[in-house]
Structure 1
């Protein structure tokens, strides 16, 4: 406009169309439940970046990976998917691979000890009733057998001396083989009449080893005490104190085979068997009335022997811990009991102990110090709040008084077990108060957890996890079937690295996944970074509160068990969760495998 006169020009603003969409990164790998943020850039035909354009996102395979409106991808199950951002009809792509793990290594399995019986080839030394058993031990040579008169009593203590050579000395009942359980069959108290009885008359052991003693096998004997008040241990394999301060002094190659080792209903017996030795086994035996007041008592305990250890097909009663490794500082520098096989045992606390309240009860199995441990095919039954809060299984790294800075529990595999009737299930803690190495590489597969309940006086927690140092690492739970009435996972403290929880059937309970300041997915995000939580059927849970890729049956009936009320937790063919695990199998425990492994264990 000039001096009142105007002209016009028609201007058309053209929106430059999107010619291409590029995605960054163009490919990525994430774990199940893991996330990855993608970004999309729109450009014109000249390659100039365009801003403010609407982009929509999609996944070629939402069963494997989903993507939200902002391009955040979440892994659901293992597999591949193409993520596509689209703007104005133009698209880009990113290839996503969802892996089945966090990259956490599995535990290293133990070296297993061979305990097959070899018949003696040397002399036979017969010890009649009233005979000198210690003299027989002193005179025996490798390859010999010592026959103790059946039904006779031999009052100790007896010491197993050091011998030259590697042949076994067998100490057994004089009764015929036909009168004893066959190899691989468990001893029972009903055989007592044909067993020689080796007795401690006081606070000390019935059987102990000289430093470095080796190659002794007990078969078909009874070991007990007549001490009226407190006995500190019936069988001492190796020395738990300062006298055994080097590996060269460790007793080794020692076997308790089809033995009956016990206290009685009134005496405090701190320990039935101490395994502070190497290459030692307790097999097919019956250990009972191992209990004490005001202190821990165990059926079996070890802390100052390197292993390997074999604990297979035994009945085990212990008021404090039925079995424990750790609990005292080893006198041998850098020693950790290792290569421990714990299979097909019946861990049991009699309910009469709960009714009387006499004995100090803690848990069924505790690992404070152990490496390369296989726990398979056992039944763990009855643990209630008393001297502790009633957990069935406790694992941590414990330097008891300060000097054992190398203490660690690591490489533990727990599978095909039944854990039932306990105040809580598992307590897993990285370490205790004193310096120690944190727990690492623990895996649970195919375990059935039944009646984990506040009715046992505990907190009703299925799994409790504490990582005080933030270094609890490589913790995996796969194919668990578990029912606790309070919490599914209680997170006490700290960050757990490489946490995987997949293909389980578990009860949400009252609080689900619980930390002091967060629950469910928020708690996992805070305390289990990079976690996997997928393929689980969480009974009574709410989908909005959990990670994607899980199932939420309303109640036990909705799961589709064959007969949950009758204790059959196989999934029925009609179950909506049949073959819906991330690995294509049924979520929950492989009940058939568990029943095979535990068949006859509680008999």
Structure 2
């Protein structure tokens, strides 16, 4: 049992007198009727938060005491409350008692300044601190400090949708999500001894993560925990299968491996069949609903030791007999066994409709030499992705990666399509972009329709090689315009033998690198029909006997980055000065390179940002 503080506003029709009545009533958990009007449930310091979560009804607000710590040996579970109305009125809100002490709504939390307003939730048993139960939906978390006690390793601090059934409509607003520092290990400096691998895990839909501070996921864990090893990949926000939509807006996100990671597991499908009479080119399917010629089908034959997944491209369908051509993957050479029953999967989901806007993504300088960074944002599966107005910093070298993966071989429909990467600032990088839409280990669906426009890359980190701007290995329809890339590294590189169709590279400021724009395949033709025009290409080649104008006609050829004519490169203002020969010289009549005014407007600043606030010590 617990106390329920209920604020009731009653309007007496007879006298039109309005008053507020506050009462405390003792209720038994589970005794609250579904017809009860929205209530405010107060859980004092030391109170039973899980009981309040269980008893709350749609529209209720659970108020937890600012400055207090609520601990559990398992997880605080957000239960499924039933069907609801399907509207915002269903949201159950868990919030601090000191909302006024937080940043205003729409403003990013600064835990160093607003710590007193936060409510600390911890798990002591190695479980997620917050776990959405099976089928849970419509929960808001506001003003919570979510962490661990630093003893047991926790994979994810928050998990939405990790149980059977759909889970949807979650909001994380002005929360501080971070692992506790661990001091027991003597293997690495304390700053890298962390007790959780990931901040928020997403296997749900309609999730908003806004105005929050997600920090400290450095990827090193205590040596005295027998359940984990060292150097485990760490992520700020991670969605293995989606489905989305996700809205990741105005957060500070700090992680060693990937700040934001979409994909990494095979997404599911409702299109499935059992197969029999299988040969190397055909099989009988128990159903062929939604299956079409040209589809990729994942097939697995049954045995005591399951065979690897095989992928076939459907060539004909006659009744329930499906003909296919087997495709070879690195780990799954064709070996479908005749007459052995099994299963087939086709036309599944991809993570979709993801908005990543207005965030600061950071890999602190202090992690240099102690962690293995990969990317600010990595996408292994995703359709309709907007990445706009983000600030990205790295002291350890990183990139952005669009690298499609049919991870375990059971999802050949996996693809990356329709990605807009605009108005972002990258400070400190080893590569700008790595684009590989075809999995080099398992068959999948080729991706494309990417726009990379009005971005700024500067202060490259020359860690083990000269940074490159664009590594493009395959894909269709890639448009790269109005980017300024301040590096001596190659503007364009391709090296796996595939062909990129529909590549446009125009109106950018970039460099050649030591060997020029490098293409490595049998025909030395990686980008047939590439639209390469009106770029300002700085010559940084080792061998300059052949002129750039003969190699890349229709472009501009400044002698150096200094000759481009920036307003104030020393203070990171890479707008072209009025005296620059490349003002109004782009194909659209604008300046070549980035439009700093539009960039800063999207980021929300008026000048270069300082180094982000260091991660507070919990």
**Could you say whether these structures have the same fold, taking a TM-score greater than 0.5 normalized by the shorter chain as the test?**
yes
TM-superposition CA deviations, 1:301-344 (whole Å, max 9, x none): 00233211000000001111010000122345512111100001
Is 1:444 the counterpart of 2:447? The answer is no
Question: Tell me, what secondary structure is at the counterpart of 2:451?
Answer: strand
Deviates more, 1:429-438 or 1:271-280: 429-438
Q: CA deviation at 1:431?
A: 2.0
Q: Which residue pairs with 1:283 in the alignment?
A: 210
Is 1:163 the counterpart of 2:163? The answer is no
Question: Tell me, what secondary structure is at the counterpart of 2:591?
Answer: coil
Question: Tell me, what secondary structure is at the counterpart of 1:299?
Answer: strand
Q: Is the 8 A contact 1:391 1:426 kept in 2?
A: no
With over 3 angstroms needed to count, the CA separation of the structure-2 counterparts of 1:145 and 1:363, relative to structure 1, is same
Select 2:107's aligned residue among 178, 181, 185: 185
Q: Which residue pairs with 1:577 in the alignment?
A: 582
Q: Which residue pairs with 1:486 in the alignment?
A: 489
Residues 56-455 of structure 1 aligned to structure 2 (within 5 Å): 122-156=38-72, 157-164=75-82, 165-166=84-85, 167-175=90-98, 177-190=99-112, 191-239=114-162, 244=164, 249-265=165-181, 266-293=193-220, 294-332=231-269, 334-355=348-369, 357=370, 359-382=371-394, 384=396, 390-432=397-439, 433-454=441-462
TM-superposition CA deviations, 1:256-315 (whole Å, max 9, x none): 001000013322421110111010011000001113242211010002332110000000
Residues 28-39 of structure 1 aligned to structure 2 (within 5 Å): none
TM-superposition CA deviations, 1:174-223 (whole Å, max 9, x none): 11x32111111011222222211110113210010111100000011110
Q: CA deviation at 1:459?
A: 4.5
TM-superposition CA deviations, 1:546-591 (whole Å, max 9, x none): 3321000111222121122332211111111111111111110111
Structure of greater Rg? 1
Q: CA deviation at 1:122?
A: 1.4
Q: Is the 8 A contact 2:495 2:521 kept in 1?
A: no
Question: Tell me, what secondary structure is at the counterpart of 1:488?
Answer: coil
Question: Tell me, what secondary structure is at the counterpart of 1:589?
Answer: coil
Q: Is the 8 A contact 2:549 2:555 kept in 1?
A: no
CA RMSD of aligned residues (A): 1.9
Q: CA deviation at 1:509?
A: 2.9
Q: Partners in 1 of 2:264 and 2:62 — Cα distance?
A: 35
Question: Tell me, what secondary structure is at the counterpart of 1:193?
Answer: helix
Question: Tell me, what secondary structure is at the counterpart of 2:217?
Answer: coil
Q: Partners in 1 of 2:552 and 2:432 — Cα distance?
A: 23
Q: Partners in 2 of 1:332 and 1:183 — Cα distance?
A: 38
Q: Partners in 2 of 1:202 and 1:319 — Cα distance?
A: 24
Question: Tell me, what secondary structure is at the counterpart of 1:202?
Answer: coil
Residues 443-482 of structure 1 aligned to structure 2 (within 5 Å): 443-454=451-462, 456-467=463-474, 472-482=475-485
Q: Which residue pairs with 1:4 in the alignment?
A: none
With over 3 angstroms needed to count, the CA separation of the structure-2 counterparts of 1:419 and 1:278, relative to structure 1, is same
Q: Partners in 2 of 1:130 and 1:498 — Cα distance?
A: 62
Q: CA deviation at 1:121?
A: 7.5
Select 2:555's aligned residue among 550, 558, 580: 550
Question: Tell me, what secondary structure is at the counterpart of 1:565?
Answer: helix
Q: Partners in 2 of 1:374 and 1:545 — Cα distance?
A: 37
Give me the TM-score of the superposition, normalised by structure 2. Answer: 0.72
Q: CA deviation at 1:484?
A: 2.4
Question: Tell me, what secondary structure is at the counterpart of 1:474?
Answer: strand
Q: Partners in 2 of 1:161 and 1:364 — Cα distance?
A: 33
Q: Is the 8 A contact 2:472 2:492 kept in 1?
A: yes
Q: Which residue pairs with 1:536 in the alignment?
A: 535
With over 3 angstroms needed to count, the CA separation of the structure-2 counterparts of 1:558 and 1:281, relative to structure 1, is same
Is 1:497 the counterpart of 2:501? The answer is yes
With over 3 angstroms needed to count, the CA separation of the structure-2 counterparts of 1:568 and 1:532, relative to structure 1, is same
Q: Partners in 2 of 1:212 and 1:269 — Cα distance?
A: 25
Q: Partners in 1 of 2:49 and 2:268 — Cα distance?
A: 31
Give me the TM-score of the superposition, normalised by structure 1. Answer: 0.73
Q: Is the 8 A contact 1:340 1:374 kept in 2?
A: yes
**Which one scores higher on RCO, CA 8 angstroms, separation ≥ 6?**
1
Q: Partners in 2 of 1:451 and 1:514 — Cα distance?
A: 22
Q: CA deviation at 1:229?
A: 4.8
Q: CA deviation at 1:250?
A: 1.5
Q: CA deviation at 1:511?
A: 2.4
Deviates more, 1:145-154 or 1:568-577: 568-577
Q: Is the 8 A contact 1:453 1:485 kept in 2?
A: no
Q: Is the 8 A contact 1:440 1:475 kept in 2?
A: yes
Q: Is the 8 A contact 2:454 2:482 kept in 1?
A: yes
Q: Report the count of equivalent residues.
A: 459
With over 3 angstroms needed to count, the CA separation of the structure-2 counterparts of 1:351 and 1:202, relative to structure 1, is farther
Q: Partners in 2 of 1:368 and 1:267 — Cα distance?
A: 26
Q: Is the 8 A contact 2:43 2:64 kept in 1?
A: yes
Q: Partners in 2 of 1:487 and 1:209 — Cα distance?
A: 46
- Give ranges in structure 1 of 5+ residues lacking alignment: 1-119, 385-389
Q: Partners in 2 of 1:140 and 1:382 — Cα distance?
A: 43
Q: Is the 8 A contact 1:312 1:344 kept in 2?
A: yes
Deviates more, 1:339-348 or 1:481-490: 481-490
With over 3 angstroms needed to count, the CA separation of the structure-2 counterparts of 1:281 and 1:599, relative to structure 1, is same
Q: Is the 8 A contact 1:269 1:289 kept in 2?
A: no
Q: Is the 8 A contact 1:429 1:465 kept in 2?
A: yes
